[in-house]
Structure 1
Amino acid sequence: MRFSIAFVSWLLPATALATSNSRVLKRANDTDYVLKKGPLDTPWTEKVGTNPWPEYPRPQLQRSDWKNLNGVWRYKNASAGDDKSPPSGVVLPEPVLVPFCLESALSGVMGSHNIWSWYQTTFDVPSSWTAGNRVILNFGAVDYEATVFINGNQTTFHRGGYWSFNVDVTDYLSANGTNELLVFVYDPTDKDNIQIPLGKQTLDPSHIFYTPCSGIWQTVWLESTPVEHVTQLDLSADMNGEVNMTVHTSSNSSTLVQITIYEPHSTDIKATARGRTNGAFQFNVESPKLWSPSSPTLYNITVKVGSDTIQSYIGFRTISHGVINGVNRPLLNGEFIFLFGTLDQGFWPDGIYTPPSREAMIFDLQTLKNVGYNMLRKHIKVETALFYQACDELGLMLIQDMPSLRPSVPVGPALGDCQVKTQPVANAESQAEFDRQLAILIEQHKSYPSIITWVIYNEGWGQAHDRTHPEFQLTDLVRSLDPTRLIDSVTGWFDFGAGDFHDNHHYPDPQCGTPWYSIQSTPYDYKRIAFQGEFGGIGHNVSEDHLWKVQKAINEINGTYEIDANLDVWNERAHFLLSELRGQIEKYDCSGAVWTQTTDVEGEVNGMLTYDRRLNRMDQVQWKRDIQALYDTAAARAANSTTVMQMADTLEGL
Structure 2
Amino acid sequence: MHLEGFFWVTPLLAAHALGSPHPVPVHQYPARQTTPYAPKQPPLTTPWTDKVGTNPWPEYPRPQLERADWQNLNGVWQYQNAADLNAVDSPPFGQSLAQEVLVPSCLESGLSGAASPSVHGAVTTKFTVPTSWDQNVLLHFGAVDYEATVFINGKQAGFNRGGYFHFTVDATEYISKDGDNELLVFVHDPTDSGGNVIPIGKQRIVPSHIFYTPCSGIWQSVWIESAPENHIDLLDLDANMDGEVNIYVHSSTGASTPVEVSVFDGEDEVASHEGSSDEAFSFSVSDVKLWSPDSPTLYNVTVRMGDDEIQSYTGFRTISKGEVNGVVRPLLNGEFTFMFGTLDQGYWPDGLYTAPTREAMVYDLEVLKDLGFNMVRKHIKVEPALFYRACDELGMLVIQDMPSLIPLQNVLPNEEQQTEFARQLEVLINQFKSFPSIVTWIIYNEGWGQLTDSHPEFGLTDRVRELDPSRLISSTSGWVDHGAGDFSDNHHYANPQCGSPFYSNPSSPYDPSRIGLQGEFGGIGQNVSIEHLWNVQAAIDTVIETYELDETVEAWNYRSHILLGELQDQIRRFACSGGVWTQTTDVEGEVNGLMTYDRRVKRTDQEQWRADIQGLYDAAAARSE
Q: TM-score w.r.t. structure 1 length?
A: 0.90
CA 1:426–1:377 in 2, change beyond 3 Å: closer, same or farther?
closer
Tell me what 1:258 maps to: 260
Equivalent-residue separation in structure 2 for 1:52 and 1:190 (angstroms): 29
1:456 aligns with 2:443: yes
Tell me what 2:60 maps to: 56
Tell me what 1:414 maps to: none
Equivalent-residue separation in structure 2 for 1:147 and 1:189 (angstroms): 17
Tell me what 1:447 maps to: 434
1:493 aligns with 2:479: yes
Secondary structure of residue in 2 paired with 1:616: coil
CA 1:350–1:568 in 2, change beyond 3 Å: closer, same or farther?
same
1:32 aligns with 2:32: no
- Identity of matched residues, %: 62
1:340-419 aligned at under 5 Å gives the runs 340-407=340-407
Please point out which of 78, 81, 87 is paired with 2:82: 78
**Residue 244 of structure 1, CA deviation:** 0.4
Equivalent-residue separation in structure 1 for 2:586 and 2:237 (angstroms): 35
1:305 aligns with 2:305: yes
Please point out which of 457, 462, 470 is paired with 1:471: 457
**Residue 128 of structure 1, CA deviation:** 2.5
Secondary structure of residue in 1 paired with 2:480: coil
Secondary structure of residue in 1 paired with 2:516: strand
Amino acid at match of 2:563: L
Q: Retained in 2: the 8 A contact 1:321–1:328?
A: yes
**Residue 521 of structure 1, CA deviation:** 4.3
Q: Retained in 2: the 8 A contact 1:376–1:399?
A: yes
- Give CA-to-partner distance per residue, 1:229-284, whole Å, 9 cap, x none: 11100000000000000011112111111111111xx2111111111001100000
Q: Retained in 2: the 8 A contact 1:262–1:269?
A: yes
Instruction: Give the number of equivalent residue pairs.
Output: 601
Q: Retained in 2: the 8 A contact 1:492–1:521?
A: no
Tell me what 1:97 maps to: 102
Equivalent-residue separation in structure 2 for 1:567 and 1:62 (angstroms): 45
Equivalent-residue separation in structure 2 for 1:486 and 1:584 (angstroms): 22
1:23-422 aligned at under 5 Å gives the runs 32-79=36-83, 82-114=87-119, 116-129=120-133, 131=134, 133-174=135-176, 176-263=178-265, 266-407=266-407, 422=409
CA 1:635–1:490 in 2, change beyond 3 Å: closer, same or farther?
same
Amino acid at match of 2:580: V
Tell me what 1:635 maps to: 621
- Give CA-to-partner distance per residue, 1:563-608, whole Å, 9 cap, x none: 0111111101000000000000000000000000000000000001
Please point out which of 580, 589, 609 is paired with 2:575: 589
Amino acid at match of 1:378: K
Q: Retained in 1: the 8 A contact 2:24–2:155?
A: no
Amino acid at match of 2:363: F
Amino acid at match of 2:294: S
**Residue 93 of structure 1, CA deviation:** 1.4
Q: Retained in 1: the 8 A contact 2:479–2:505?
A: no
Q: Retained in 1: the 8 A contact 2:129–2:177?
A: no
Secondary structure of residue in 2 paired with 1:274: strand
- Give CA-to-partner distance per residue, 1:168-225, whole Å, 9 cap, x none: 1111113532100000000011224210000000101000000000000000000000
**Residue 228 of structure 1, CA deviation:** 1.3
Equivalent-residue separation in structure 2 for 1:327 and 1:384 (angstroms): 36
Structure 1 residues without counterparts, runs of 5 or longer: 4-14, 408-420, 640-654
Comparing 250-259 and 98-107, the one that deviates more:
250-259
Equivalent-residue separation in structure 2 for 1:378 and 1:190 (angstroms): 23
CA 1:288–1:85 in 2, change beyond 3 Å: closer, same or farther?
same
Secondary structure of residue in 2 paired with 1:573: helix
Tell me what 2:535 maps to: 549
Structure 2 residues without counterparts, runs of 5 or longer: 1-9, 12-22
RMSD over aligned Cα atoms: 1.9
Q: Retained in 2: the 8 A contact 1:198–1:404?
A: yes
Amino acid at match of 1:354: T
**Residue 446 of structure 1, CA deviation:** 0.4
Q: Retained in 2: the 8 A contact 1:599–1:608?
A: yes
Amino acid at match of 1:434: F
CA 1:490–1:203 in 2, change beyond 3 Å: closer, same or farther?
same
